[in-house]
Chain A
Amino acid sequence: MNVELRGITKSFGPVIANSDVTLDIRAGEVLGLLGENGAGKSTLMNVLCGLYQPNAGEIRIDGRPVTFNGPGAAIEAGIGMVHQHFMLVPVFTVAENVVLGVEPVGKLDFLDLKKASDQVRAIKDQYGLEVDPDALIETLPVGVQQRVEIIKVLFRSAQVLILDEPTAVLTPQEVEEFFQIIKALRDAGKALVFITHKLNEILQIADRISVLRQGRITGSGDPKTMTTKDLAEMMVGRPVSFDVTKQPFAPGKDLLKIENLTVLHENSEIAVNQINFSVRSGEIIGIAGVQGNGQTALVEALAGLRHITSGTVTYQDHDITHSSARARHRMGIAHIPEDRQRTGIIPSFTVAENMVLDTYYDTRFSSRGQIKWDIVNEAAARGAVEFDVRTPSVFSAAGHLSGGNQQKLVVARELSRDTEMLLAAQPTRGLDVGSIEYIHERLIHARDEGDGVLIVSSELDEILALSDRILVMFKGNIIAEFENGDGQADKNEVGLAMAGAAP
């Protein structure tokens, strides 16, 4: 089944989300749709799924113009969407989730779960989607849950599959497996739309690429002849540098010293197990590892947000093992938290309020119990300009900013004061190329000025590009260490260590 979008325009009041977009989606092909957050990818796909009606333009299926009055009509026509956030009932089995809404029923409306399992098994065998139809969703890893979403769409006999940022939640191994599935589906004659902002992935899997910027198609082409540089330029609208330039590696004295550190999970299991390392000034330490190996607990313990069960943390020769988060903060330790929406900013607060979320008590910003809002606003505006936070005003709600700008806001808050140690957890997760480039520059700038920097990231490329030294965390332990002062660490070796194979 081939789908053509012809001149699709969709606006919301004065905001034009899509402008005259023309796309071809062909059977047996993977179309990569690339664009930054807010470029209009989701709107376009929601038009295709019947959730939105376009203001202008038409959709044709195999040459015939169609209109979808709602998502039901699009599903009927064979268009299925796999959402970025899964829509599964955690306490139901795989089969129950798949048939939800179109359950096979027998006599007297009897729910035939056996038949449902068999149908799921048939799809699974046909496309090689390894999953147990009788397993409960909540017991399955994220990668398998995603397969269930795909089976759900196939079960409704979709010929066109739209995959919205499918790899955002997957580990590197799961991404590999996922690509195998995509290839199997393509070879079975399905048409696939792969939406992403990750350049490497799109070059690896797509047969054709279209790039969307500010609601328009800014480029299309063949991935065999395109480079990440070309794509990034089409996506951002200006040349993007991927080469990180650092000053020569010249570490100073030990700044943060961690000895025999043990931290527990909420359920009292060991999260961080007796680890030792130190961060020197002028050095970036990268903690590599698949997510969920104790990195979150480590950073929170260092930031004073989680109880340290045993071991010591020394900062500039002071024992801070049991100091409060505020005390550490005042000593010059900055923290960019992992989950910016939940812990980094308060979405309903203004940009200015978020800019002083952890410095409002400082004598610069308040006196005699009163916050000096004029000074706060002024400082926030200055920070926003300096750190390239794109916002209409410092009085806008931070929740209205794009993810990249929210993260730049956090970075601005943490770095626009005297810091000597920076803890950065997943500093660029889910961000667009432009913002990633900017945040990397800032982290390196902090290092070049003599700060110690600890970066936790599940993106191996990021760790390799930034770190002077790489520690690999696996199941709460540091199982490998690589020197990377001149970029000499080997990607394969680090990757193997991440999978638990100690060198």
Chain B
Amino acid sequence: MSTPSKTDKAIQDLLRRAAPPRAEFEDLVIVPIFAVVAALILGAFTMLATNVELATIGQSYIALLKGSVGSLNAISETLTAAAPLILAGLGLALGFRAGLFNIGAEGQILMGGIAAVITGFSLPGLPFVLLLPLCLLSGALVGALYAGIAGWLRAATGAHEVISTIMLNLISYRLLDYLLRQPFIQREGRADPISKSVPDNAELPRLLDWLDPNLRVHAGIFLALAAVLVVYWILYRSKIGFEFRASGASPDAARFAGMRSGLIIVAAMATAGALAGLAGANQVLGVLDRATPGFSAGIGFDAIAVALLGRSHPFGVLLAGLLFGALEAGGRQMQVDAGVSIDLIGIIQALIIVFIAAPLLVRAIFPWGFRKPADVRKE
């Protein structure tokens, strides 16, 4: 046989994976870690400023740790809180990659959730293996349609998705209130807006109730994990994902490459909405068992933070979702043990985002792990 030619060798050299650029590593790993540390430290100062004693502050951070990972129940609570954040966060991350700033996860969660509830109690006779997937599917579908409205408005009229999704959130609150009072949906014998319950065979099964009936963690966490892989596949392996990323990174270059921007916008919004809708279905089928006004409880907004903290990367979103889930679960413990207001968790979450948005500030406070500024070449 012949020896490989010079050209073949050159080709092989080019196929060798380049070391991931240092800047990317700093951006994806070091900055988020330090942002969390900085937020926790500044959170302590906030407590000091509100006359919380030093000992209580220490106690509250211990409670935060205990309540999030300190026991089986704590871990169960963390995972329960993380699942919808990961699902909705993935949707938002996908939107960000496609250049769409979708603020409407909250509304998409509500619409997806109520759809899943309706499907559930309408078909109580179906077996579990059919009913649960059907409920999840209807949640995803309705979430996709609801987000698709904003996508269509953007593609057809140029209406910016930030505005239209905020409007759609407001509409969804009132629409849900209205739906919950419809005789077909409202629970029999109730005057307040509350839906019928989801039948047992439509519920996401609890995973650890055989150990302790109070452990709430349910199969939704597997749904979230699967979604991480699917979104990764969509973004980095599939054709449509390539189009998403191209239009997000450079709409002009995408158009010049012959991609159809209108279609891509609608598809990206719909996919994001499907994931948010799944998050809604996850809540009603796994935790709440029914729909009530505003049952999304701000998950759609926290998910924006999760997507940003996760740098719009599926695996980053997974970690960020787990962190925010832990903060939520730990925050409750903190309130119980140390008597510190749960609003502090909101402050810490907000601080994390502030630091993430200001990488230069993080770099100035924590110089470790970054390249020296003198090494950064500016041309």
Residue of B nearest to A337 (CB): B256
Given A12-B374, A13-B375, A346-B246, are A393 and B14 also a contact pair (CB < 8 Å)?
yes
- 1/0 contact string of B5-21 vs chain A (CB within 8 Å): 00100111111111001
Query: Is the pair B258, A369 in contact by a Cβ cutoff of 8 Å?
Result: no
Residue of A nearest to B237 (CB): A370
Q: Is the CB of B246 within 8 A of A349?
A: yes
Q: Is B190 an interface residue (CB 8 A)?
A: no
Does A468 reach chain B (CB closer than 8 Å)? no
Q: Is A179 an interface residue (CB 8 A)?
A: no
Pick the interface stretch among B163-171, B199-207, B247-255, B297-305.
B247-255
| Cβ-based interface call for A348 (8 A) | yes
Name the contact of A360 in the complex, choosing from B242, B255, B256, B379 (C-beta under 8 A): B242
Output the residue of B257, B260, B371 with the most chain A CB within 10 A.
B257
From B237, B257, B376, give the contact of A357 (CB < 8 A). Answer: B257
Q: How far is the CA of A395 from the CA of B24 in the complex (A)?
A: 14
- Asked if A392 and B242 sit within 8 Å, CB to CB, the answer is no
Contacts of B252 in A (CB 8 A): 342-343
- Report yes or no: A393 in contact with B15, Cβ–Cβ below 8 A: yes
Contacts of A349 in B (CB 8 A): 245-246, 249
Q: Say yes or no: A393 contacts B257, CB within 8 Å.
A: no
In chain B between 365 and 379, which residues have their CB closer than 8 angstroms to a CB of chain A?
371, 374-377, 379
CB of A381 within 8 Å of the partner chain: yes
* Chain B residue nearest to A360 in the complex (CB): B242
A12 to B258, CA, bound (A): 39
Closest to B243 in A: A360
Tell me, in angstroms, the Cα distance from A342 to B16 when the chains sit together: 28
Interface: A378 (CB within 8 A): yes
The residue of chain B having its C-beta at the shortest distance from the C-beta of A14 within the complex is: B375
Residue of A nearest to B17 (CB): A395
Residues 251-271 of B contacting A (Cβ, < 8 Å):
252-260
Is A394 touching B15 in the complex (CB atoms < 8 A)?
yes
Contact B15 A357, beta carbon cutoff 8 Å: no
The reply on B238 being an interface residue by CB < 8 A is yes
Question: B229 to chain A: closest CB distance in Å?
Answer: 14
Q: How far is the CB of A71 from chain B (nearest CB, A)?
A: 13
* A433 close to B (CB within 8 Å): no
Complex Cα distance A43/B374, Å? Answer: 13
- B240 at interface by CB-CB < 8 Å: yes
Q: Could you say which of A345, A361, A381 contacts B14, with CB atoms under 8 Å apart?
A: A381
List A contacts of B14 (CB < 8 A): 380-381, 384-385, 391, 393-394
Give Cα A171 to B264, complex, Å: 39
Total interface residues on A, using CB and 8 Å? 48
The answer on a CB contact under 8 Å between B253 and A369 is no
Which residues B1-45 have CB closer than 8 A to chain A? 7, 10-18, 21
B245 surroundings in chain A (CB, below 8 A): 349
Residues of B within 8 Å of A17, CB to CB, are 377
A371 touches B17 (CB 8 A): no
The smallest C-beta distance from B261 to any residue of chain A, in angstroms, reads 11
- Which residues on the A side are within 8 Å of B249 (C-beta)? 346, 348-349
Chain B contacts with A in 196-250, Cβ cutoff 8 A: 237-240, 242, 245-246, 249-250
Question: Are the CB atoms of B18 and A325 closer together than 8 Å?
Answer: no
Distance between Cα atoms of A358 and B254 in the complex (Å): 8
Residues of B within 8 A of A108 (CB): none
Minimum C-beta distance from A331 to chain B (A): 12
Q: Answer whether residue A329 sits at the interface, using C-beta atoms and an 8 A cutoff.
A: yes
Q: Inside 8 A of A382's CB, which chain B residues have their CB? A: 11
A residues near B240, Cβ cutoff 8 Å: 369
Contact at B239–A357, with CB atoms within 8 Å? no
Q: Are B253 and A357 in contact (CB under 8 A)?
A: yes
- The 8 A CB mask of B296-321 against A (1 = contact, 0 = none) is 00000000000000000000000000
User: What separation, in Å, do the CA atoms of A136 and B322 have in the docked complex?
Assistant: 55
Query: When the two chains form their complex, are residues A397 and B21 in contact, meaning their CB atoms are under 8 A apart?
Result: yes
Given A324-B258, A346-B246, A357-B257; A377-B15 close (CB under 8 Å):
yes
Q: Given the complex, which residues of A lie within 8 Å of B11, measured CB to CB?
A: 378, 381-382, 385
Interface extent on B, as a size class? 35 or more
Q: Mark A326-338, 1 if CB is under 8 A from B, else 0.
A: 1001000001010
Cα separation A497 to B258 with both chains bound (whole Å): 35
What's the nearest-Cβ distance from chain A to residue B206, in Å? 35
Tell me, yes or no, whether A353 is within 8 Å of chain B by CB.
yes
User: Are A392 and B253 in contact, CB atoms less than 8 angstroms apart?
Assistant: no
Q: Whose C-beta in chain A lies nearest to the C-beta of B12?
A: A381
A189 at the A/B interface (Cβ < 8 Å)?
Answer: no
Contact A344 B253 (CB under 8 A): yes
Cα distance A443–B255 in the bound complex, in angstroms: 24
Cβ–Cβ contact A344 & B18, under 8 A = no
Greatest chain A CB density within 10 A among B15, B255, B376 is at B15
Residue of B nearest to A359 (CB): B257
Answer whether A12 and B239 are a contact pair too, CB < 8 Å, given A346-B250, A357-B253.
no
A395 close to B253 (CB less than 8 A): no
Check A393–B17 contact: CB distance below 8 A. Answer: yes
Q: Is A249 an interface residue (CB 8 A)?
A: no
Residue A396 interfacial (CB < 8 Å): yes
Hey, what's the 0/1 contact readout for B345-379 against A, CB within 8 Å counting as 1?
Answer: 00000000000000000000000000100111101
A305 to B249, CA, bound (A): 19
Whether the pair B239, A345 counts as a contact (CB closer than 8 A) is: no
A345, B256: Cα distance in complex, Å: 10
Q: Does A373 belong to the interface (CB within 8 Å)?
A: yes
Shortest Cβ distance from A340 into B: residue:
B253
| Contact string against B for A residues 6-20, beta-carbon threshold 8 Å, 1 for contact and 0 otherwise | 000000110101000
Q: How far is the CB of A123 from chain B (nearest CB, A)?
A: 31
Interface centre among B17, B254, B260, B379 (most CB of A within 10 A): B379
Of the candidates B7, B239, B256, B371, the one whose C-beta lies within 8 Å of that of A370 is B239
Q: Which of A349-387 contact B (CB under 8 A)?
A: 349, 353, 357-358, 360-361, 366, 369-371, 373, 377-378, 380-382, 384-385
The answer to whether the Cβ of A228 comes within 8 Å of any Cβ in the partner chain is no
A93 within 8 A of B: no
| Cβ contact within 8 Å between A393 and B16 | yes
A17, B12: Cα distance in complex, Å? 29
Whether A15 and B258, one on each chain, are in contact in the complex, defined by CB atoms closer than 8 angstroms, is no
CA distance A358 to B249 in the complex (A): 15
Closest Cβ–Cβ distance, residue A358 to chain B (whole Å) = 4
The 4 closest A-B CB pairs, nearest first, are A326-B258, A358-B257, A393-B18, A381-B14
Q: List 25 A-B contacts (CB under 8 A).
A: A12-B376, A13-B377, A42-B379, A304-B258, A324-B258, A325-B256, A326-B260, A344-B253, A345-B253, A346-B246, A346-B254, A347-B250, A348-B250, A349-B245, A358-B256, A358-B257, A360-B239, A370-B238, A371-B237, A378-B15, A381-B10, A385-B10, A394-B14, A394-B15, A397-B21
Contacts from B to A (Cβ < 8 Å): 7, 10-18, 21, 237-240, 242, 245-246, 249-250, 252-260, 371, 374-377, 379
Known: A358-B257, A360-B242. 9 other contacts (CB 8 A): A13-B377, A43-B379, A303-B256, A305-B255, A344-B253, A346-B249, A361-B239, A370-B238, A373-B237
